[in-house]
Amino acid sequence: MEELVPNTTRHGGSAKETSPILTFPTARGYQEWDARTVICFESQGESSLLQYETEGVLSEKEVFMRLGAIESYLGECAMANNFVRVHKSTVVHLRHIHSAAPTNGNASGKDLVLHLTGGRTCVCSRTYKSVFHEAMMRFADHEGGSWKKQGGLWKRG
């Protein structure tokens, strides 16, 4: 499979509204997504399921890349700090997380439940928990304090 290079085309009028275009191989050839619309990627073995939202409609598309290759590809784009691996089979876009709470309801929970756009949930395993917390702290600083951490819980301010 040929190596993908992040598309430098941007959408939006101002620097704050710009977003890189992500290009992935699909059954219909190479397709593009505005990075802001991508909610998460889930591994399906040799391919991954890309979940995205466009104009309030949630959709998904199989992309023919393994999750590790997607993670590397995202690391090269301008929004690399907005995506984080939270499980061996999941990479999420931090902007689409509405809250994160320990699975057992208290701060000592080993795993976190992430509540995403559209009511979807996924698990942040204990293996990736510290990486997730570090990414959320950077993201919260960048977002101007719209996120708050209270104990083991992350919530939008």
Query: Residues 67-107: pLDDT tens digits?
Result: 999 999 999 887 778 999 999 999 999 999 988 988 876 66
> What's the chain's average pLDDT?
84
CA of residue 71 relative to chain centroid, distance: 10
The pair of three-digit structure tokens given for residue 131, joined into one six-digit string: 């990486």
> Which residues span the domain enclosing 15?
7-144
Instruction: Give the whole-angstrom CA distance, residue 93 versus residue 80.
Output: 9
The vertex-9 CA angle with 38 and 22, nearest 5°, equals 30
Q: pLDDT value at position 157?
A: 63
Residue type, position 142, single letter:
H
Question: Is 106 inside a domain boundary?
Answer: yes
29 within domain boundaries: yes
Q: Domain count of the chain?
A: 1
Cα Dmax for the chain: 46
In a domain, 83, yes or no: yes
Q: Is residue 117 part of a domain?
A: yes
- CATH number of the domain where residue 110 is located: 2.40.50.1020
Of residues 157, 115, 151, the one with CA closest to residue 133: 151
Q: Give a yes or no: residue 152 inside a domain.
A: no
pLDDT (tens digit, 9 = 90+) per residue, 100-116?
A: 988 876 666 689 999 99
Instruction: Tell me if 154 is assigned to some domain.
Output: no
Per-residue exposure over 100-136, b if at least 16 CB sit within 10 Å of its own CB, e if not: bbbeeeeeebebbbbbbbeeeebebbeebbeebbebb
Could you tell me if residue 46 is inside a domain?
yes
Determine the length of the chain: 157
The answer to whether residue 59 scores a pLDDT higher than 90 is: yes
Q: Is residue 150 part of a domain?
A: no
Label residue 1 by pLDDT band (50, 70, 90): very low
